[in-house]
Amino acid sequence: MKKLILAVIWVFCGGIIFAQESHDTKKDTTKLDEITLVGRRKLSNYRQEKTLASIDDYLEKSNKITMIKRGNYAWEPAMNNMNSERLNVTIDGMQIFGACTDKMDPITSYVDVSNLRKVSIGSGQSGSENGHTIGGGIDLQLTNSKFHQSGLKTSVDLGYETNGNYKTGGLDLEYSGNKFYLHADGIYRKSDNYDAGKNQEVLYSQFQKYNMSLQTGYKLTDHHTLEAAVIYDKATDVGYPALTMDVSLAEALITSVTHKYVNDSTFIQSLESKLYFNTITHVMDDSKRPDVPIRMDMPGWSDTYGFYSKASMTIDKHALEVNLNGFYNRSLAEMTMYPNDPNQAAMFMYTWPDIRTLYSGIYAKDTYAFNDQTSLSTALRIGFHQNEIAKETGLESLQIFYPEIGATNNRVLSSFTTNYQFKKEHYDVSFGAGYGERAPSVSEGYGFFLFNSFDNYDYIGNPTLKNEKAIEANFKANYHENNFHLGFETSYFHIMDYIIGNIDENLSAMTIGADGVKVYSALSNAKIFNAYLNSSYKFSDSFSINGTVGYNYGSASNGENLPLIKPFSYLAEVNYSTAKFNAALQLEGNANQSRYSNFYGEDETAAYGILNVNFGNEFKLNTNKVILKYGIENILDVNYSTYADWNNIPRQGRNLYVNMSYIIY
């Protein structure tokens, strides 16, 4: 910890001193597109179908992301058919780790749209700016500093959805002055059980949560800004119909202090340094379930301390970015089971035996613009990663399986990616290749009898796992001609030492009713491939159609299909939009999941298609603005579930919704 703090101080001081030296190089004015990003979704701009949609809803609209659902709340994002362990999800560059051993609290569940400015998504190694990843990176970016003297702006948001009697209320206050800004918001969401198609109630799908955030900044001088952010998020009474347990509390406190330096005339044009801390408490319980084989409590905690310092500079035709970051995480989870025989003592174990993770690494990216049309970018990340089992009991319990292991395990992780982009008037093309490594997650390395209801096995972590490594290649091409657009993108991942659970016949399951025990181990390799084709045509300024089809493939070296691979998917949309009104009709669906993975606990999911319609109006009330969004989801009330629905829980049936935003200037 001391070393970490010293490193931070060094970076702060060094960076600031360095930044003061002005550099006399001719600045290049070529503007480079963010080619590493597959998508940047601007949030809260009132252009979405629902202004009050959750982060999960927003993410689901992105081409590359699908959400794995265990209920109606806290969906787990998956990108390139890879989920939590293989992704690097950060909040404004801050590392934050869920405290649930069963992945019931993805990071995306601890922030709300009202906190965020945009979500930056990098596929594969292009998402490695903030940490090591295989599948990609998702960075949920907080509100930017804004010193534009716009004074006070207030907005009130109200939403209601018929399915699940889902109510949302939000209040947003923004003050922006010359030297000071403040952004405060609060949002409350509450939903009862939702109904799947044909009025079939999905029990234990309720949730309730509120989120508050305060973000503020002070301009010290023209070049220096100091910012602070606090987010508090608390969800209670969250049901998980796909699981055997619910959540009585999921609470996060996310804090950060940031120093920003911006100067166009110095060598370092911007330097941003952040110190952060976040803490998560997650309590699983089954007290609402009438019929369980055994009562249990499963609380978990995750605390993370960290920093990053990132600088950007331009030398001739090179745009350089450097990011030095580090974090220290403590993950602890325990399980207490209460035997039905009251004379027997409660049973207790550590499911995450107080695992400390220390990481520090450096990322550098260079983008070289050959000319206005052609550019080449190269990025590199190298880091040191250490895991330590802090609890003696934890070490001893894992030594049951691995007598030889010690308390600490050190790794060096590296990542490399390069991308070549070529742009012409009517088309653009980009090629990319990359190599990346990741350390096993806490569950994969150190989990102790974690029950997975997906395949009905108990899982044991494996501290001796090697780094998982991936070689990837991607290709993207777009063609535009008048009002017609055609796009194609594809990526291929060859993953070595692919971490997945493997049945150990010698072990007996702890969880009542489980089929056995799986130990995390590595397959020699796995292959994941995806391809998307999209096109759109504009009939007029206000009337357009667009469509996307996607294909995904995943197989493992043992000849089995990988689980949770998206089947053939399609989306078609007809859009009408003017300045004050918009409407869209959407058809969305998947083909039959023929390549399901029976071996890894999947069953075949049938094809489905649903129809949605949405409308938006914008009008003025005196000097204030009102934005109204309304629509019907799943118009035909289809009862369906997708490949990404845990244990095939059915999705929402017909849902009528209204969102209203009232903005007071």
CA distance 429 to 242: 42
Q: Which stretch binds another protein (CB under 8 A): 16-24, 27-35, 342-350, 382-390?
A: 342-350
On whether the CB atoms of residues 377 and 36 are closer than 8 A, the answer is yes
CB of 220 to another protein, least distance (A): 53
Rule CB under 8 A: choose which of 268, 319, 337, 358 binds another protein: 337
On whether the CB atoms of residues 133 and 125 are closer than 8 A, the answer is yes
Beta bridge partner(s), residue 320: 313, 366
Rule CB under 8 A: choose which of 7, 503, 509, 571 binds another protein: 509
Q: Which stretch binds another protein (CB under 8 A): 115-123, 227-235, 332-340, 639-647?
A: 332-340
Q: Is residue 291 near another protein by the rule CB under 8 A?
A: no
Q: Which stretch binds another protein (CB under 8 A): 347-355, 422-430, 481-489, 612-620?
A: 347-355
Binding mask 431-450 for another protein (x = CB under 8 A): -----------------xx-
Rule CB under 8 A: choose which of 1, 17, 400, 579 binds another protein: 400
Rule CB under 8 A: choose which of 147, 232, 368, 401 binds another protein: 401
Q: What values do phi and psi take at 9, rounded to 5?
A: -60, -40
- In the bound state with another protein, the residue whose beta carbon lies nearer, of 290 and 403, is 403
| Encoded tokens for 624 | 């204030």
Q: Is residue 271 near another protein by the rule CB under 8 A?
A: no
Q: Is residue 406 near another protein by the rule CB under 8 A?
A: no
Rule CB under 8 A: choose which of 5, 13, 228, 512 binds another protein: 512
- In the bound state with another protein, the residue whose beta carbon lies nearer, of 483 and 508, is 508
- In the bound state with another protein, the residue whose beta carbon lies nearer, of 127 and 394, is 394
On whether the CB atoms of residues 446 and 96 are closer than 8 A, the answer is no
CA distance 468 to 524: 10
In sequence order, what DSSP letters do the residues of 171-188 get, joined into one string?
A: EEEEEE-SSEEEEEEEEE
Total residues interacting with another protein, rule: CB under 8 A: 32
Q: Is residue 390 near another protein by the rule CB under 8 A?
A: no
- In the bound state with another protein, the residue whose beta carbon lies nearer, of 326 and 447, is 447
Rule CB under 8 A: choose which of 21, 264, 291, 341 binds another protein: 341
On whether the CB atoms of residues 161 and 656 are closer than 8 A, the answer is yes
- In the bound state with another protein, the residue whose beta carbon lies nearer, of 359 and 451, is 451
CA distance 528 to 494: 7
Q: Is residue 451 near another protein by the rule CB under 8 A?
A: no
Q: Which stretch binds another protein (CB under 8 A): 72-80, 184-192, 394-402, 641-649?
A: 394-402
In the three-class reduction of DSSP (H, G, I as helix; E, B as strand; rest coil), residue 25 is classed as: coil
**Non-local CB neighbours of 584 within 8 Å, separated by 6+ positions:** 49, 573, 574, 575, 576, 577, 613, 614
Binding mask 468-507 for another protein (x = CB under 8 A): --------------------------------------xx
Q: What values do phi and psi take at 341, rounded to 5?
A: -85, 110
Q: Is residue 116 near another protein by the rule CB under 8 A?
A: no
User: What single DSSP character describes residue 62?
Assistant: S
- In the bound state with another protein, the residue whose beta carbon lies nearer, of 446 and 596, is 446
Taking Cα atoms as reference points, which of 226, 159, 221 lies closest to residue 190? 159
Rule CB under 8 A: choose which of 513, 543, 594, 665 binds another protein: 513
- In the bound state with another protein, the residue whose beta carbon lies nearer, of 510 and 628, is 510
CA distance 663 to 236: 29
| Encoded tokens for 434 | 């990359």
Q: Is residue 531 near another protein by the rule CB under 8 A?
A: no
User: What single DSSP character describes residue 69?
Assistant: B
CA distance 452 to 460: 11
Rule CB under 8 A: choose which of 294, 412, 621, 656 binds another protein: 294
CB of 405 to another protein, least distance (A): 12
Q: Is residue 348 near another protein by the rule CB under 8 A?
A: yes
Taking Cα atoms as reference points, which of 374, 293, 306, 283 lies closest to residue 337? 293
Whole-Å CA distances, 108 to 68, 78, 89, 91, 112: 12, 12, 8, 9, 8
Dihedral (CA of 177, 183, 184, 188) sign: positive
- In the bound state with another protein, the residue whose beta carbon lies nearer, of 129 and 354, is 354
- In the bound state with another protein, the residue whose beta carbon lies nearer, of 25 and 508, is 508
CA distance 404 to 65: 40
For binding to another protein (CB under 8 A), which residues are involved?
Answer: 293-294, 335, 337, 339-341, 344-350, 393, 395-397, 399-401, 403, 448-449, 506-513
